[in-house]
Chains A and B, each alone.
Chain A
Amino acid sequence: MNMRKSSLPASCGEAFTDKERANSKRRYRTTVLAAVLILILVWITALSVGRYAVPFLTAAKVLLSRLFPISQSWDKKMDAVVMTLRLPRSTAAVLIGGALALSGSCYQSIFKNPMVSPDLLGVSAGACVGAALAILLDLGTVYIQLFAFLCGIGTVFLTTAIPRLIRNESTTILVLSGVIMSSLMSSVMSILKFLADTDTKLAEITYWTMGSLSAITFSDILMVLPTLTVPAIVILVMRFRLNVMSLGDREARTLGIHLRRTRGVFVVCATLLTASCVCLAGTIGWVGLVIPHIARLIVGADHKKMLPVAMLFGGSFMLVIDTLCRTLSSAELKLGILTGLVGAPFFFFILIRQHRTML
């Protein structure tokens, strides 16, 4: 069969040669390499700056000394600041940034909607309510995580049920129902805080929802590591399915996708990621919305290429934000303040740049 004669005149531009294909592959590799380098540079900077300044190279040497035998030419205090104070905190920031970017990309694809994010869908607010409930009921850390996850996924379910219920699955209604669920959850949160014992529980709940990495330790990170890595691996392995899901339910089904099963896997994984982040540092807005957009702008929409870049960018972004939070003023700033301050204008900028393809 040959349809060349009848088909539309091909647009200008020469046929794609293997060389050009190799070029586009190389461009992608360069982008990933650059993202990795940026992350490493930002990370070492984050380890060196702060109230107790450690020279950049010394911070790098301290890190490397754990991998290679390097004779110690720095004082013990610097070593302690880098390894026990700043390393756990910066590791958490990188993990959270990467996880939020990944779960944001995932939600955006399965809801075929580049406007959704973990915070817009109410997942973060729901997870917070779950955590607060577990604290109120005097349950242990494991239960705090479990409750955070269950309430998070319950909120996603309700948020996506509203558009189905009124038979209008437009972007506007989904975002609106996210607003409804978020404000409902924050009201529930207020009630829980009102019920909480002001001396003990309230402080714990408030500390939880504040969104700070100030007191994080490696054991905190280890607690959520399984619920961060397992869903992340599942999403990354199934990333081609994210492309297909983003075409819409009908087209995905005609391409042989078992819709409910596939969407279920992705929603559970993305919610687990978000809930784990909430467990570590409370609700942090904007990262899950803005970072995937930046990644798409640079490497295109294909999740095969876009997810790794989004995770690397997310990690660097959170590191920068957290470092600013602890260095800008003598008192620690809340993470959400800066992500909003940086994220909102940036999102506006992206909206202007790609207004044609956004909605």
Chain B
Amino acid sequence: MKLEVKDIGFSYVRGRDVFQNVSFSLEDGDVFSILGVNGAGKSTLLSCLAGLSCPNAGDIVLDGRSMFSMTRNEIARLIGYVPQIHASSFAYSVLEYTVMGRTPYIPPYATPGADDYAIAREKLAQVGMENMEQKVFTEISGGEQQLAMIARVLTQEPKLILLDEPTNHLDYGNQYRTIEILRQLSAAGYIVITTTHNPDHALKLGGTAAILTAGGGLRIGQAGEVLTPERLGALYGISVGITYLADAGRQICYVREGQ
């Protein structure tokens, strides 16, 4: 699938512009990380891409069709959205939770059939959760919830997967495991768009990266080129360094002391 974002802008009815003139295009297998300070509008941008918020200007085109001319169901078959981990009130089993990804393919009057459960089980196995289908979603760990959410989005069989700060609330190990999963998703042909607070995650992901500034502009390019110590330093107001670390086998991002 080809995603073309054309000059979209968003502002609240009575308020400042959140962002304007945002344009980029992505194709199957591309990975795109969005960085920005708190309140810069990363989540809003992601909401617009998910069709949850409507931009005031511009167009979002999926394979030549404007998203705004599509029904919710048509969008749901192309775009999957992984929200931030949040407290859930209802204690579904992991399988019951995952199979909800089949919603776009199930008519309102029907319930999931054997095929739908089979797909959900297959996707749970893909994220290594095959032994947990009867566990209660509200009782598993944050890392496991994140995996179940990703399994649910895979069950939706979209072309584009959006993730809102997927590493939030995860421990150090699970953060990097999540990043690794995102890389595998893009290798499997999904377009992956994620927001993150950690520039090192964007460096590890590679692909395209963008910095959403407080002024509402978006600087886009190859992750290695856009993410420079100067830009990141100016963005976060701290001194940032980027260096190749042979032990890590890649460029890493770190904070410099005393400057």
Contacts and interface: CB of A to CB of B under 8 A. Distances in A.
A186 interface: no
Given A1-B187, A8-B177, A256-B103, A301 B81 contact: no
A253 to B, nearest CB: 6
Interface residues of A, number: 50
B133 A16 contact: yes
Contact of B111 (A11, A304, A357): A304
Interface stretch (A40-48, A240-248, A345-353): A240-248
Interface in B205-253: none
A302 B238 CA distance: 48
Most chain A CB neighbours (cut-off 10 Å) among B79, B108, B109: B108
Contacts of B72: 253, 256-259
Interface in A251-286: 251, 253-259, 262
Contacts of A356: 138-139
A302 B177 contact: no
Contacts of A70: none
Contacts of A10: 128-132
Interface string B119-162: 00000011111111111101110011001000000001000000
Given A6-B184, A243-B100, A251-B81, A256 B73 contact: yes
B63 interface: no
A4 B104 CA distance: 27
Max chain A C-beta neighbours (<10 A), residue from B86, B111, B134: B111
Contacts of B86: 248
Task: State which size class the interface on B falls in.
Answer: 35 or more
A7 interface: yes
Contact of A1 (B88, B96, B104, B126): B126
Contacts of A302: 92-93, 96
Interface of A: 1-4, 6-11, 13-16, 20, 24, 109, 112-114, 237-241, 243-244, 246-248, 250-251, 253-259, 262, 296, 300-302, 304, 354, 356-359
18 contacts: A4-B125, A6-B177, A7-B177, A8-B174, A9-B128, A16-B133, A248-B86, A255-B156, A256-B72, A256-B76, A257-B72, A258-B71, A258-B72, A296-B91, A300-B136, A302-B92, A302-B96, A359-B89
Interface of B: 47, 50-52, 71-73, 75-77, 79-81, 83, 86, 88-93, 96, 100-101, 103-104, 106, 108-112, 125-136, 138-140, 143-144, 147, 156, 174, 177, 180-181, 184-185, 187-188
